[in-house]
Amino acid sequence: MPDLARVLLVFGLALALAACTRPEPAAEPVRSVRTVTLAADSAGGRHEFAAEVRARTESRLGFRVGGKMISRAAEVGQRVRTGQALAQLDAADLQLGQQAAQAAVRAAESAHALAAAELKRYRELRDQGFISGLELERREAALQAQRAQLEQARAQAGVQVNQAAYATLVAPAAGVITAVEAEPGMVLAAGTPVLRLAHDGARDAVFVVPEDGLNAIRALLGQNGALRVRPWGRSETLPATVREIAAAADPATRTFQVKADLGPAALQLGQTVTVLVELPRVEGVTKLPLTAVTQQQGQTAVWLLDPQTMTVRVQPIVVAGAEGNAVVVASGLSPGQTVVTAGVHTLTPGQKVKLFAQPSTAASAAAGPR
C-alpha cells in the first residue's frame, strides 16, 4: 500500500506540473501573397466622361406681380417664340388699380387747369395794380405744385398699366420649355418660378471630372476644338472647347463641373454624349494595380517583398493619378522591385510570406511528372 500511495503521489505531482506549464505560442502563419515585379511603363492616353447636352442660357420664368394663375398655355418640350403668351394671372385687381390711377390723372389735370386759369387772372389783376406781386408769386407756386402732382399721377398710371400687362407671362426668347413648376389655381408671389425655358442658340456639353483629372482639363481651357465629343450611338466625333470649370468641388461627390462649348453641332437638349480627352504620353513611369495601394500612418504606401528573406516592408509612395484600374506612381518606387498586390491589409512589417499558388498548379506540382 505505501508503494501504491507513493506512485499516486508522484503521478499527481506530474499532472499538477503539467497543468502549470505555459504552452508555447503557436508559430505565426506564413501568409500567401500575390506580387508583381515593377517595370518602366508609360501613362497617358484618353479619358472619357459622360456628358449631357444643355442650353447655354436657361431661364426660370415667373410673373413680375403676384396673383392667382388661371391658365397655362405651355407644356414641357413645347417650342415657343419670342413674345408668345405662356401663362395668365387673374388681372381683375390689377385692372381696378389701373382705373384708379387713370381717375387720379384726370383729377390732377383738372386741378392743373384751374391753377393755370387762376394764375392768368391774377396776372391781369397785378397789371391793373389790384394785387401785389407776392400774391402773384403764390399763384405761380400753386401752379407748379399742381403740375408736379399731374406728372406724379401720370407716372403712377403708367406703372399700373405695366402691372396689368405683367399679368400675362410671355417668352423672352425663342426656345424649348424644359420644366413646369406651377399649375393653374395656385396663388403665386411675384417672381415665383412657373416655367423653365432653354433658349435657342449655343449648346454646352456638361460633365464632371474628379480631382485628379482637373489639371488636364484646365490645360485645355479656351483652346478651340481641344476636346472631342461622340454622340451616343454614333461613331463620328465632333469638336468642343472647354468654356467653364467650376471653382469649387461638389460637396457630395467631390467632383468639378465642366462646360464645353459644342459650337454649331446639331445636338438635341438632354442628349447623352461622351467627352474624349486626349492626354500626352509620359514615358518611364511606374504603374500598379489599385489593390496594391494601402494607407499606413496617414501616408499612401505599398508593401515591398524581399525575395531573399521572403519578408515584407512598408514603402511610402506619391501617387500622380489613375489610369483605368491602375495607379500611376510619381515617386517612391523603381523598376525591378517586387510589390505585393493582394493581401496587403493583413501584413505587418518584417512578416514572412509565401507566393500564392493556384490550386490547380499546386495539385499538379504535388502529383509530380508521370
Provide the pLDDT confidence category of residue 366 given band limits of 50, 70 and 90.
Answer: very low
Percent of the chain with pLDDT over 90: 32
Mean pLDDT of 134-151: 89
Cell of 274: 461622351
pLDDT at 363 over 50: no
What is the structure's pLDDT at 26?
A: 55
Confidence at residue 206, expressed as pLDDT on a 0 to 100 scale: 93
Res 358: pLDDT: 55
pLDDT band for position 270 (cuts 50, 70, 90): confident
Record the cell numbers describing residue 124, joined without a space: 391781369
Q: What is the structure's pLDDT at 14?
A: 62
Q: What is the CATH number of domain 91-164?
A: 1.10.287
Distance, CA of 209 to CA of 215 (rounded, Å): 10
Domain spans of the chain, in order of start: 31-42+283-358, 47-57+199-282, 58-86+167-198, 91-164
Q: Identify the pLDDT of residue 41.
A: 67
Neighbouring residues of 212: CB distance < 8 A, sequence distance ≥ 6 = 321, 322
pLDDT number for residue 182: 93
pLDDT band at 369 (very low <50, low <70, confident <90, very high): very low
Query: Average pLDDT of 126-133?
Result: 81
Please state, rounded to an integer, the average pLDDT across all residues of the chain.
82
* pLDDT over threshold 80, residue 97: yes
pLDDT over 50 (residue 354): yes
Residue 285: what pLDDT? 67
C-alpha–C-alpha distance, residues 65 and 167, integer Å: 7
Confidence check: pLDDT of 28 > 50: yes
Residue 355 confidence (pLDDT) = 80
Percent of the residues in the chain that have a pLDDT greater than 70, as a whole number: 84
Strand order in the sheet with 193-199: 58-62, 193-199, 175-180, 79-80
Alpha carbon distance 9, 117 (integer Å) = 145
Mean pLDDT of 292-312: 83
Residue with the larger pLDDT of the pair 16 and 318: 318
Q: Which of 14-18, 42-46, 79-83, 297-301 has the highest mean predicted lDDT (pLDDT)?
A: 79-83
Residues 62 and 57: their CA atoms lie apart, in Å, by: 16
Q: Strand ranges (DSSP E) for 171-246? A: 175-180, 187-188, 193-199, 203-209, 227-231, 238-245
Residue 258: other Cβ atoms inside 10 A: 27
Residue 186 has pLDDT above 90, yes or no: yes
CATH 2.40.30.170 assigned to 47-57+199-282: yes
Render pLDDT for 210-230 as a digit per residue (tens, 0 to 9). 887 788 888 888 888 788 899
CB-count exposure of residue 120 (10 Å: 0-12, 13-18, 19+): exposed
The reply to whether 91-164 shares the fold of 58-86+167-198 is: no
**What are the pLDDT digits (tens) for 332-349?**
787 888 888 887 777 888
Helix and strand counts by DSSP (H, E) for the chain:
5, 22
Q: What is the pLDDT of residue 44?
A: 60
- CATH architecture for residues 58-86+167-198: Beta Barrel (2.40)
Work out the pLDDT band at 370, boundaries 50, 70, 90.
Answer: very low
> What fold, for 31-42+283-358?
2.40.420
* pLDDT for residue 4: 59
- Split at pLDDT 50, 70, 90, the class of 103 is very high
Q: What is the pLDDT at residue 110? A: 92
3-state secondary structure of 286: strand
